[in-house]
Chain A
Amino acid sequence: MSRFVATLPEPQRAALAATYDKAVASRRQQLLLGSVVFVLALAAALRGAEVDPANFWEHLGNFTDYFDRLTTLDSGDRVWTDFSDWYWGFFRWLRLLGETILIAYVGTITGALIAFCACFVASNNLVQSAWLRVTVRRVLEFLRTVPDIVFAMLFVVAFGLGPMPGVLALALHSAGTLGKLFTEVVEGVDMKPIEGVQASGGTWLARVRFGAVPQVLSNFASYTLLRLEINVRGAAVIGFVGAGGIGEDLLVAIRKFYYQDVSAMLVMIVVCVMLLDMGSERLRHRLLALESNH
């Protein structure tokens, strides 16, 4: 067989082979260097994070034990044998979960409204003035980088305990993240409709309203839905700092070792988040289909 495969003359082959070997060697060298840096960084990080495998193995039993206790009622039976005992506080938790979802919803919509107003000013195809654009972008970046729970701690001091600081915190953080995504969408729009409105004498607002908005709306809705999912998760823990929702009860239950309450609330949160995820995934697919029909 090999007779029929044409081979290059030796000098040419040797040169090519040498180049290939060199390329492979340089890649290997890079990989080695990268690995050494990575291992050093990891060693430093392991020290910094006080990772202690011995402690971990010793207490790993606690972890399985913890789940064992989570699924055990005070009476010693498994939780699923007696739902009325497990979910003794069902209606209270349902109300708190509803409040959590509502906080997430109101926070997300408020954030989306702020982002909607900001994104057209921050995009480079609609606004000429660089300083205006950069200022808006810096503000959005700031809102995005400060975690929502930090905003919540601040607002709890300023506005008092309750759902209001939670709503405001989620709104500000969402405004930052959505503002960035919205800006990217606006910068990717087709400029022809906008130029058309401009050519027929439209003002800046008219250009945005009739040129840009119709192109971006379904994308905006899809991103907002995605943010709503994330915010429901966030709203569930924002109560840890006293900003409303189910988080406060959950924190108390975990801290005071009310195992059956912890598992009951966790199951409710997980189911709720999953249902929302699935619903919003469907909706987003439909929205994106709407987009591609245009």
Chain B
Amino acid sequence: MRIAFMDRAAALPAPPPTFSRTGVVVALGIVVTYLIGLGVLGVTPWAIVERLPRLFSIVLTMFPPSPGSAAHFWTYLEALGETLAIAFVGTTVASVFAFPLGFLAARNVVAGRILHFMSRRVLDTVRSVDTLIWALIWINVVGLGPFAGALAIASTDFAALAKLMSEAIETADQGPVEGIVAAGGSRFHVIRFGLLPQVLPIFASQVLYYFESNTRSATIIGIVGAGGIGLYLSEMIRVLEWQEAAFLILMVLLAVAAIDVVSRRLRAAIIGAPKG
């Protein structure tokens, strides 16, 4: 028995080394870059520890969070409403534009390679400019206020949504499409009855995700003056009214949590999945 066991052990191939050479090199590179980065940026443990008491004293002054006065509370509530409105309008406008563009950018709908390539690159460019930068640009066009914020959100998201939309179209099942072509359907029929029923639920659930994330973006867009609660938040931090700042952050957290719950319900209803 013992001999047989040893034979088997000897016959087994040597175990692969735990770490490959490239793995070690890559890991070392990551660590060294990280350490150099810490040094260059001046983020040393000592510098952090030195200022920690100040951070703690700020956090302590935040308690208890309070809006200051009833009048402020109503102002903030209105600003929160404005924030949600910005997110809602922005997402709606973005999806209205993204929907047709998604078809244009999809490989299996538009045959022209050049058109496909161009629309993809344009979308990538629009997407890589941050919402806050778009907000600054739109402020120059329509002036300060929530409208600029809504347009900024629409600009960033329309590109992201169009990309997702085109990917959903490209991965759609070709069976129904071929069926409609075989039954003599026109191009319009193909899109309406072959692609839309497959793509629409995916698109709707993505739009809901974006609405959720846009409520988060809309809370900060006020920092540059494009409406919403961010204006008050940055103002309160600037004048060191920590209790009011904490109250505003709490309001944002609650609103985002509420939107999360609602959109989870809606998504479950749309894609027909069990509620969870």
Query: Which residues of chain A have a CB within 8 Å of any CB of chain B?
Result: 41-42, 44-52, 55-56, 59-60, 62-63, 66, 99, 102-103, 105-106, 109, 142, 145-147, 149-150, 153-155, 157-160, 162-164, 167-168, 233-234, 236-237, 240-241, 244, 250-251, 254-255, 266, 269-270, 273-274, 277
Contact A244 B41 (CB under 8 A): yes
**Nearest chain-A residue to B139 (Cβ)?**
A254
B43 contacts the other chain (CB 8 A): yes
Which of B86-94, B99-107, B169-177 sits within the interface? B86-94
Contact A49 B41 (CB under 8 A): no
**Nearest chain-B residue to A55 (Cβ)?**
B142
Contact A153 B89 (CB under 8 A): no
Q: How far is the CB of A190 from chain B (nearest CB, A)?
A: 19
Quick one: which of B55, B216, B257 contacts A147, CB cutoff 8 A?
Answer: B216
Contact B141 A273 (CB under 8 A): no
Contact B224 A240 (CB under 8 A): yes
Query: Which residues of chain B have a CB within 8 Å of any CB of chain A?
Result: 30, 33-34, 37-38, 40-43, 47-48, 51, 54-55, 58, 81-82, 84-86, 88-89, 92, 124-125, 128-130, 132-133, 136-137, 140-143, 145-147, 149-150, 216-217, 219-220, 223-224, 227, 233-234, 237, 240, 245, 249, 252-253, 256-257
Give me 11 A-to-B residue pairs in the complex whose CB atoms sit less than 8 angstroms apart, sorted by A's number: A102-B37, A105-B34, A145-B216, A153-B233, A160-B51, A163-B42, A164-B47, A234-B130, A240-B224, A251-B224, A255-B136
Contact B223 A241 (CB under 8 A): yes
Contact A106 B128 (CB under 8 A): no
Contact B85 A102 (CB under 8 A): no
Contact A254 B146 (CB under 8 A): no
**A49 in contact with B85 given A149-B220, A150-B249, A164-B42 (CB within 8 Å):** yes
**Nearest chain-A residue to B42 (Cβ)?**
A164
Give the complex CA separation of A52 and B147 in angstroms: 8
Give the complex CA separation of A144 and B159 in angstroms: 24
- The 6 A-B residue pairs with the shortest CB-CB distance, nearest first, are A48-B85, A273-B128, A45-B88, A45-B85, A158-B55, A106-B37
Contact A49 B82 (CB under 8 A): yes
**A163 in contact with B147 given A59-B142, A147-B220 (CB within 8 Å):** no
- Kindly list chain A residues whose C-beta atoms are within 8 Å of the C-beta of B240: 157
Give the complex CA separation of A42 and B89 in angstroms: 7
Give the complex CA separation of A195 and B255 in angstroms: 42
Quick one: which of A48, A63, A105, A255 contacts B82, CB cutoff 8 A?
Answer: A48
Q: How far is the CB of A214 from chain B (nearest CB, A)?
A: 9
Q: How far is the CB of A57 from chain B (nearest CB, A)?
A: 10
